[in-house]
Amino acid sequence: MTEFFVPKHIVPRITPDAAEFFAGTVREELRIQQCDTCGLHHHYPRMLCPHCGAETLHWVTASGRGVVHSYTVIRQNGVPPFNEQLPMIVALVDLEEPGARMLANLARIEPEAVEVDLEVTAVFRPASDEYSFVDFRPAVSA
C-alpha cells in the first residue's frame, strides 16, 4: 500500500480551539490536551475536558505511540480523491496517553497485516503550510 496523498481542498478548517493541534502537526509534534483536574487526555481539541467537564486544560506533546483499538479497510468511497486511493485502512488508535483516541489512516502496512492491538507510531504527511495529516505506521516494521 502506498502513502496517501490528500489534496488541500479536504484539509480541515482550522478553528481557534484547535490551532495548537494543527500548528503542531507541521512541526511533526502530536499536540493533545490534558486536563489538570482529572489527569486524562483527549483528542480532538475542545474548550472543556470531555471526561470531567473542567476548563483546566493544557497542551502536551504526545509520544505518538499507540495501539490499534479497531480498524476497517475502506474499499468503496465515491468521493474524490479517496475513490482513487482505495483500499484505505482507517484505524482507531488509542494513544499511550490515557483518555486519548484518534481516528487515522494506517500507512506502510498491507490491509491483511493489520490486527487489533497492533502497536503503531504517528507519522506526519504534509497537506499544506498549515497542517500535516497524522497517520500511523507499525511500531516495528515487518
Partner 1 sequence: MGRRVCVVGVGLSDGPKTPDMTPMMLQAQSFRRALDDAGLQKNDIQGVATAGYAPMHEAQTCEYLGIHPSWLESTSVGGSSSEFHVLAAYRAIEAGDVDTVALIYGNTQLSTSGRSLGTGMAMGLSGPSAYEMPTGMTLVGAYAIAAKRHMHQYGTTSEQLASIAVQTREHAGRNPHAMYRDPITIDDVLSSRLIADPLHKLDCCVVSDGGCCVILTTEDRARDLERKKLVYVRGAAGASDHHSVQAMPDLTTTAGAVSGPKAFAEAGIKPSDVDMFAMYDSFTYTVLVNLEDLGFCAKGEGGPFAASGALRLGGALPTNTDGGGLSATHPGMRGLYLQCEAVRQLRGEAGVSQVEGAEIAVAHGSGGWLSTYGTVVFGTEPAR
Residues written for the chain = 142
Least distance CB 43 / partner 1 (angstroms)? 7
Give, as ranges, the residues between 47 and 106 that touch partner 1 (CB under 8 A).
Answer: 50, 69-79, 82, 85-86, 88, 90-92, 101-105
Residue 24 host element (H or E): helix 19-26
- Contact with Zn ion (CB under 5 A): which of 10, 19, 52, 113? 52
Q: How far is the CB of 62 from Zn ion (least distance, A)?
A: 16
Cβ atoms of 41 and 47 closer than 8 Å: no
Does the protein bind partner 1 through residue 44 (CB under 8 A)? yes
Instruction: Tell me if 37 contacts Zn ion by CB under 5 A.
Output: yes
11 in contact with partner 1 (CB under 8 A)? yes
Separation of alpha carbons 55 and 57, rounded Å: 6
Residue 8 DSSP one-character state: G
| Nearest-angstrom CA–CA distance, 54 and 60 | 17
Q: Which one among 2, 13, 58, 129 touches partner 1, defined by CB under 8 A?
A: 13
Neighbours of 98 (CB within 10 A): 12
Maximum CA extent, the chain: 45
Residue 92 partner contact from Zn ion, partner 1, none using kind-dependent CB cut-offs of 5 to 8 Å: partner 1
Q: Which residues bind to partner 1, rule: CB under 8 A?
A: 4, 6, 10-13, 43-44, 50, 69-79, 82, 85-86, 88, 90-92, 101-105, 111, 116, 127, 133
